[in-house]
Structure 1
Amino acid sequence: MSIAYLGHESLRQLKNMRAMIFTLAVPLVMLFAFGGTFGGEGQVDAVTHLPWIVVTTIQVAAYGGMMSALSQAFQIVTERSIGWNRQLRITPLSGTGYLVSKLIAALALALFSILVIVGVSVALYRPDLAVGSWVLAGLAIWLGVVPFALLGILIGQFAKPEFAQPLFMAVFMGMAVLGGLWIPLQVFPAWVADVAKAVPSYWLNRVGQLGALQSGDAVTPTIVLVAWTLALGALIVWRYRRDAARG
């Protein structure tokens, strides 16, 4: 039953048109705006040495993937408010199965967002990048959104319905800014860049660039993202067990 519920939950997320539009509209607008500005022939980023349109696409894909993964919070808040999660506890579905289904659903939505953004960029701007590099960049971003999916689940476990939206926006906006997904970190004071290296969004952008380059140090991003994943996973399990004990 856990496997059946997992599949049903993932498909339900992909059929949720409101969620799909919500998680795609803003990233695509950003892609059109920034792509039109930085998508010219021969424009290369001085730091990564990648074409600017590739750098922009990676940033927007990371932004869209992060938004999709975090948006799972709203689904969990809704289910908690109507008592659906308590109802599931009297079924054969295990607590692990329930939490994994939320993670898989978040990753499915994030993958769809990343594929659409990269596909639109390639179709419109035809960036000079090999197919293999695009695949590695997209895969790196997708794997990198795991801690954001867990963060969305954690927010959903804690937030009350009336506070879910502002909490989501505060976390999302903060992560987007510190990750350099909106504004290059070079325009901020040096200490902001130092703080940014402690948050997963900074490294989400970086692993996408490393995938596109097919070279570079992937150890540090991996350590930071895995550390966030383990810490958030532990908090989720603790919170779920506490809720289950109360129920």
Structure 2
Amino acid sequence: MSIAYLGLESLRQIRNARSMIFTLAVPLVMLVAFGGAFGASGQTDPVTKLPWIAVTTIQVAGYGGMMAALSLAFNIVTERSIGWNRQLRLTPLSGTGYLLSKLVASMLMALVSIVVIFSVSGILFHSDLPLANWLTAGLGLWLGVIPFALIGILIGQFAKPEYAQPLFMAVFMGMAVLGGLWIPLQIFPAWVADVAVIVPSYWLNRIGQMGAHQNGDILTPAVVLLVWTVVLAAFIVWRYRRDAARS
């Protein structure tokens, strides 16, 4: 039952054209705008020492993957509002299967977003970064999206329908800014950078850059993202069990 529902949930997300367009349109516009302004000139980013278009693509792909992962919140809010989650508890589907299906569907959406953004960047801007480096950067970003998928599930578990949109935007925009996925952190006061190292989006950007370099202390971002994953997963399981007990 859990495997069957997992397949159906993943297929439902991929076939949701409106959601796919929402999670791809803004990142692609950003890629074309920023890449066209700086990427075609072959400049190198002075901070990361990567080609500017590689830095821009990683930031935009992280932005798109994070958006795709977090957007799962709306589906869960809708299911809770119509009582679908309570109906599922009457079936053989386990709580673990339900939560896992949401996580996998969210990660699948994020993967599509990252692959499309990387592909469009390669077609339009022809970066000289080796293919292997692009692959490790994309893999790092995709695995780094896991905490955001869990945040999306958590928002879906708590938010009421009328508050889901503003809560999503507050979390998403805050994470995007503090992670340097939208605006470089160097232009902000120093205290903003100090706060940024606490949030997972900062380390999502870092792990993508390290993948592109194929060197650096990858253990630090991996551990930070893992800690976020474990804490969020424990909180989600607690919330789900509490919700199930009340219903």
TM-score scaled by length of structure 1: 0.99
Residue in 2 that maps onto 1:107: 107
* Deviation of the 1:47 alpha carbon: 1.2
* Deviation of the 1:222 alpha carbon: 0.8
> 1:15-67: per-residue Cα shift (whole Å, max 9, x none)?
00010000000000000110011112330011111100000000000000000
Residue in 1 that maps onto 2:27: 27
Q: Does residue 109 of structure 2 align to residue 77 of structure 1?
A: no
Identity %: 75
Three-state SS of the structure 2 residue aligned to 1:40 is: helix
Residue in 2 that maps onto 1:10: 10
Residue in 2 that maps onto 1:243: 243
Deviation above 4 Å: which 4+ runs of structure 1?
Answer: none
Three-state SS of the structure 1 residue aligned to 2:57 is: helix
Q: Which ranges in structure 2 are unaligned for 5 or more consecutive residues?
A: none
2: CA distance, partners of 1:31 / 1:75: 27
* Deviation of the 1:223 alpha carbon: 1.1
Residue in 2 that maps onto 1:230: 230
1: CA distance, partners of 2:26 / 2:60: 9
Q: Does residue 170 of structure 2 align to residue 170 of structure 1?
A: yes
Residue in 2 that maps onto 1:193: 193
2: CA distance, partners of 1:177 / 1:203: 13
Q: What letter is aligned with 1:219? A: L
> 1:85-109: per-residue Cα shift (whole Å, max 9, x none)?
0000010000000000000000000
1: CA distance, partners of 2:150 / 2:88: 20
1: CA distance, partners of 2:131 / 2:184: 26
2: CA distance, partners of 1:11 / 1:132: 29
Residue in 2 that maps onto 1:117: 117
Residue in 2 that maps onto 1:39: 39
> 1:143-186: per-residue Cα shift (whole Å, max 9, x none)?
00000000000000000000000000000000000000111101
Residue in 2 that maps onto 1:161: 161
1: CA distance, partners of 2:38 / 2:68: 25
1: CA distance, partners of 2:228 / 2:220: 12
Three-state SS of the structure 1 residue aligned to 2:40 is: coil
Q: What letter is aligned with 1:119? A: S
Q: What letter is aligned with 1:108? A: L
Three-state SS of the structure 2 residue aligned to 1:39 is: helix
1: CA distance, partners of 2:15 / 2:27: 19
2: CA distance, partners of 1:71 / 1:224: 22
Three-state SS of the structure 1 residue aligned to 2:206 is: helix
Residue in 2 that maps onto 1:92: 92
* Deviation of the 1:79 alpha carbon: 0.2
Relative to structure 2, which stretch is displaced further, 34-43 or 49-58?
Answer: 34-43
1: CA distance, partners of 2:59 / 2:234: 29
TM-score scaled by length of structure 2: 0.99
Alignment coverage as a number of residue pairs: 247
1: CA distance, partners of 2:13 / 2:125: 30
2: CA distance, partners of 1:195 / 1:41: 33
* Deviation of the 1:219 alpha carbon: 1.1
1: CA distance, partners of 2:45 / 2:21: 30
